[in-house]
Amino acid sequence: MKHLTAVLVATVFALATTSARAELVIEITQGMDNPTAIAVVPFAWQGSGTAPEDVAQVIDNDLARSGQFDPVGRGDMLARPSTQQEVFYRDWRAINTEYVLIGRASVTGQVQMRIEYELFDVNRQARVLSGYEEGHVNDARMLAHRVADEVYETLTGIPGAFATRLLYVSVTRNPGGKDFYRLTLSDSDGARPIVLLESREPIMAPSWSPDGKHIAYVSFETSRPAIYRQELATGARVQLTNFRGLNGAPAWSPDGNSMAMVLSKDGNPDIYLMDLRTRELTQLTRHYAIDTEPTWMPDGRSILFTSDRGGRPQIYRYDLRSGATERLTYEGSYNARARVAQDGRNLVMVHQAGGQFHIALQDLVTNRLQILTGTDLDESPSIAPNGSMVLYGTKSGDRGILAAVSVDGGVKFRLPAREGDVREPAWSPYMSR
Amino acid sequence: MKQLTVAGKVLTLLFAAVFLAACSSKDTKDDSSAADAAAAEAAARSAAERAAMEDAAMAERRLQDAVAAVGNVFYFDYDSSTLKPQAQAALDAHIALLRTNDRSVRLEGHTDERGTREYNMALGERRANTVRDYMVVNGIASYRIETVSYGEEQPIAYGSGEANWSQNRRVELK
């Protein structure tokens, strides 16, 4: 494994209109053995004044963060072409670069930004991708992430997930008093953080609607836990539950029409299903043990949950049509809080081994278990919509930080907060444009 | 709050005693022979009442002192919601005091940071329920008890290791 000695810190300046920096800092701790050498040449700016965003730097950071690419430093570039005519392959062969991305950015009609890009294969001496992205100038970073997605897919065969967003909970400690909780939305690289909710009482379990337009979470703001649904575009929110006992772990169904949740209103934590149109509740599990942490299989036909009905927490599957329950995990004495990749095959969860809590992946076809992380107190795994990376919460010293690992365990990076604790990351689905 | 309630009660009783004494002193002006006996009886009665009141106040103060001595936090073993003997003894002190008043209490269940957050929410609730059930069995009406779990969200000690964790696995009576 290649350990990057230099810590790569992402460019985290937000929009030109604000000076707010990202709350999260990205430190790549482990990349792949033979990352692809790519040069992301600074894009030519064809507007007046200075470019609102260093588009190439955003793309460069995205590719580096994937661990699969080793971007060429700008100081090592022998030329800085921005058109096909200016690309001379010998300049790039000389510094062992395999691919070159060039581009041009412009703004039309004050606010409409256009980014044109071309990707060249140095060995084959051929252009392998070209295209453009257009959008509001305030979304310059998102346009750049989309270019990175296209480049990533062209070179790896897997759709990129850079043009996605994160939800996470951060906490500022207040010893002797009440802590300060924040629910934050950011780009997938931690940039452009927006605080959605602030409270002196805990905020938990943020989750996404399948179209990425709504979120759900648990807030203790009424001095007891309740589930809320919030529309991102308007900020409008609705309190969905207010039952005695636990109101937790909201999980949207893949069709967006219902929500699985944990309620203990009848004395014991069980999994319920709420029809989001009628608010009608259906009780799914009925057991004196703890049943919690529901999550949907991508086909929407069954729900996985954690239960200690066998004595220790393990993952079970509840079939919505037959009502049958089967146990899925057998290796180890603690397997909890499952999340399943869109392929329906890779299950990630919290797995206890040697007294420590790691993130593990279980292949639901072969049932082979692989421990992905080597740190302790790892929790709350969330899978990127392209299934490539797992974001999770862990501890560094006595601080809560976010970290990520690729599903093959080969790539690792950390996202500590500039201050305070961060936890419970929720990676968005693909955002509809 | 506790002290105020008791002080209020003592004041009420004292006021009643003074009022009774005032009434009986009015009586003494009328008749001379029967008045002495009546006065003596009244004095004895009020003295007895005062003594009873003082006994009750002292008993209540003793219960409060006992509660103050044991604190309002009950600790648990890892991944366990079983009441430990020490916690049980502490809880007995609270129950003895709660039997003398009609106060409502809130039981907040907490866990250490190990294990997943939602599972810990359920574990915190189990702990709060264990305390509630013990109180109900010992005569405190269930409608007087509210339970809420905070899971691992509100630690007393932020660090890791058993020294910190043991402080966080708790139920707080408020």
Q: For A361-394, give the DSSP string.
A: EEETTT--EEE---SSS-EEEEE-TTSSEEEEEE
In a domain, A216, yes or no: yes
Contact B122 A220 (CB under 8 A): no
| Helix intervals (H) in A227-306 | none
A156, A182, A204: which is the final residue of a domain? A156
Contact B126 A290 (CB under 8 A): yes
pLDDT at B12: 53
Domain of A86: which CATH number?
3.40.50.10070
Are A146 and A275 in a shared domain? no
Question: Do the Cβ atoms of A105 and A43 come closer than 8 Å?
Answer: yes
Contact B118 A313 (CB under 8 A): no
For the ranges A10-19, B18-27, B55-64, the one whose mean pLDDT is highest: B55-64
In a domain, A375, yes or no: yes
Contact A225 B148 (CB under 8 A): yes
Are A41 and A113 in a shared domain? yes
A173, A377, A398: residue with CB nearest B114: A377
Chain A partners within 8 Å of B153 (Cβ): 202, 204, 220
Question: Do the Cβ atoms of A226 and A219 come closer than 8 Å?
Answer: yes
pLDDT at B37: 83
pLDDT at A293: 98
CB atoms closer than 10 angstroms to residue A406: 20
Are A148 and A206 in a shared domain? no
pLDDT at A224: 96
In chain B, whose CA is at the least distance from the CA of A200?
Answer: B154
- Three-state DSSP class for residue B159: coil
In a domain, A411, yes or no: yes
Query: B82 touching A, CB under 8 A?
Result: no
Query: Which of the residues B119, B125, B150 would you substitute to probe the A interface, choosing the one with the greatest number of A C-beta atoms within 10 Å?
Result: B119
Domain of A180: which CATH number?
2.120.10.30
Q: Are strands A237-239 and A291-296 parallel, antiparallel or unpaired?
A: unpaired
- Three-state DSSP class for residue B135: helix
pLDDT at A204: 98
B114, B122, B158: residue with CB nearest A357: B114
Q: Predicted confidence band at B55 (pLDDT cuts at 50, 70, 90)?
A: confident
Contact B116 A249 (CB under 8 A): no
Domain count, chain A: 2
| pLDDT mean over B57-73 | 89
| CB proximity list for A19: less than 8 A, separation 6 or greater | A13
- Distance, in Å, from the CA atom of A176 to the CA atom of A135, rounded to the nearest integer, reads 48
Query: B80 touching A, CB under 8 A?
Result: no
pLDDT at A18: 34
Give the DSSP letter of residue A239.
E
Contact B119 A264 (CB under 8 A): no
- Three-state DSSP class for residue B28: coil
Q: Which of A325, A328, A245, A257 is nearest to A285 (CA)?
A: A325
Q: What is the pLDDT of residues B112-136, one digit of tens each?
A: 999 999 999 999 999 999 999 999 9
CB atoms closer than 10 angstroms to residue B42: 17
Burial of B144 per CB tally in 10 Å (0-12, 13-18, 19+): middle
Are A148 and A174 in a shared domain? no
In a domain, A78, yes or no: yes
Tokens (6 digits) for A140: 């310059």
Q: Name the β-bridge partners of A356.
A: A353
A156, A187, A216: which is the final residue of a domain? A156
In chain B, whose CA is at the least distance from the CA of A202?
Answer: B153
Q: Which domain holds residue A110?
A: 32-156
Question: Do the Cβ atoms of A89 and A67 come closer than 8 Å?
Answer: no
Contact B118 A205 (CB under 8 A): yes
Chain B partners within 8 Å of A380 (Cβ): 116-117
pLDDT at A433: 63
Contact A223 B148 (CB under 8 A): yes
How much of chain B exceeds pLDDT 70, in percent? 82
Are A325 and A422 in a shared domain? yes
- Tokens 């969330």 locate to A382
Contact A336 B115 (CB under 8 A): yes
Contact A377 B113 (CB under 8 A): yes
Contact A290 B160 (CB under 8 A): no
Are A300 and A416 in a shared domain? yes
Question: Do the Cβ atoms of B144 and B98 come closer than 8 Å?
Answer: yes
In a domain, A219, yes or no: yes
| pLDDT mean over B126-147 | 97
How much of chain A exceeds pLDDT 70, in percent? 94
| CB proximity list for B6: less than 8 A, separation 6 or greater | B57, B60, B61, B64
Find how far residue A293's CA is from the centre of its chain.
Answer: 18
pLDDT at B14 over 60: no
In chain B, whose CA is at the least distance from the CA of A262?
Answer: B118
Average pLDDT across chain B, whole number: 85
Tokens (6 digits) for B129: 């329920």
A156, A183, A213: which is the final residue of a domain? A156
How far does B101 lie from chain A, in Å, by closest CA? 25
Query: B159 touching A, CB under 8 A?
Result: yes
- Distance, in Å, from the CA atom of A228 to the CA atom of A224, rounded to the nearest integer, reads 13
Global pTM exceeds 0.90: no
pLDDT at A110: 80
- Tokens 């080597």 locate to A374
pLDDT at B1: 43
Are A129 and A226 in a shared domain? no
Are A297 and A421 in a shared domain? yes
Give the DSSP letter of residue A138.
G
Chain B partners within 8 Å of A308 (Cβ): 119
Are A54 and A177 in a shared domain? no
Question: Do the Cβ atoms of A249 and A293 come closer than 8 Å?
Answer: yes
Contact B117 A398 (CB under 8 A): no
DSSP assignments along A144-211, one per residue: HHHHHHHHHHHHHSS----S-EEEEEEEE--TTS--EEEEEEEETTS-S-EEEEEESS-EEEEEE-TT
In a domain, A406, yes or no: yes
Are A145 and A169 in a shared domain? no
Query: B119 touching A, CB under 8 A?
Result: yes
Q: Which of A30, A66, A65 is nearest to A158 (CA)?
A: A66
pLDDT tens, position by position, for chain A (433 residues)?
333 333 332 222 222 233 345 678 888 788 888 899 999 999 999 988 888 899 999 999 999 999 999 999 999 999 999 999 999 999 999 999 999 999 999 998 888 999 999 999 999 999 999 999 999 999 999 999 999 999 999 999 999 999 999 999 999 988 778 889 999 999 999 999 999 999 999 999 999 999 999 999 999 999 999 999 999 999 999 999 999 999 999 999 999 999 999 999 999 999 999 999 999 999 999 999 999 999 999 999 999 999 999 999 999 999 999 999 999 999 999 999 999 999 999 999 999 998 999 999 999 999 999 999 999 999 999 999 999 999 999 999 889 999 999 999 999 999 988 888 999 999 999 987 6
In a domain, A16, yes or no: no
The Cβ-side half-sphere exposure at A238, using a 13 Å CA radius, reads 8
Are A291 and A215 in a shared domain? yes
How far does B83 lie from chain A, in Å, by closest CA? 18
Chain A partners within 8 Å of B160 (Cβ): 376-377, 395, 398
In a domain, A421, yes or no: yes
Question: Do the Cβ atoms of A381 and A368 come closer than 8 Å?
Answer: no
Chain B partners within 8 Å of A245 (Cβ): 125, 147, 149
B119, B147, B160: residue with CB nearest A292: B119
- Tokens 């037959």 locate to A322
Handedness of CA A202, A401, A413, A6 (dihedral sign): positive
Q: Predicted confidence band at B9 (pLDDT cuts at 50, 70, 90)?
A: low
